[in-house]
Structure 1
Amino acid sequence: MSRKRTLLTALAGTALAPVLVLAGPAAIASAHGYVDSPPSRQAQCAQNIVSCGDIKYEPQSVEGPKGLRTCDGGVGRFGELNDDGKGWRATSVGRTVTFSWKFTARHRTTDYEYFIGDQRVAAFDAGGQAPPETVTHQVDLGNHTGRQKVLAVWNIADTGNAFYACIDLQVG
């Protein structure tokens, strides 16, 4: 009886192992990119420029449904990214800024969008292709001056999700 039970346990483990290997990483890897230059709020957290919670360890994880206009992408545990009074450093820039996205996993991409308030100031079509390890966009901020918060959005082509990053700028 003991030998039969051992054999059944071994067979069950052998059958279950491939399922766990395939399902495990997919469940763990859930987010994959952010703006690192000029430093986004999550980049400032990761670099210990501003004291933050969980986002410090996973700046690439601000993923939520497409169409949001929040810094946290609707992820409650990253809510501090929405706090404009947290002491975010604003990078001094001219009216044209080069944003650099850093990817830890590259999803096929519909487009990238940049907003100041409710106004979309730029969009870049990615044609459904996976990006290289880094992507840069030169964005004209138009007539915006002074301290501005830019929301950068990376819209994924093969899911209903997007990645979000807010960047604080001093435009002058």
Structure 2
Amino acid sequence: METKILKELFEWAKSLTIAVILAFLIHTFLFAVVVVSGPSMEPTLQNNERLIMNKIIYKIHAPKRGDIVIFHASEKEDYIKRVIGEPGDKVEFRNQQLYINDQPTQEPYLDRYSGKIITEDFPPVTVPDGMIFVVGDNRGNSTDSRIIGPISLNKVIGRADLAIWPLSQIRKLWN
């Protein structure tokens, strides 16, 4: 009887150990939960919303225009912003319009701001190789590449793939 109980305990311990190791590996290398802090991505993302960050995607390919990325802004702080400029792109804001390589660019994620002044003019900037240009969707309340400059691809830690909290707002965040 005792050996049966010990066997059962050993099997439970083994299963629990495997589960903990798998959870650690998944969290470290594949996915993580991040919390939105502040209003810079409103109305797309809200303060305290929980997101699933895909950590592996940018090992496969570079961030693309429109992606919502998480990057190290400093040693202690990560930012969540939208990519609008890829390496080599010329980025400019003029009369409430985003221009990429001198072409007006639609930003459907800003449709909720229709008719409101949301983006001050910003002179042309060419995004250097190995960098991206990011902005918050809430252009009037965002510390982004217009202030801190283009972001090194080495600082990008992942893409926001899913909003998971609050439960009533679960949705995918990429196209």
What is the TM-score with the length of structure 2 in the denominator?
A: 0.35
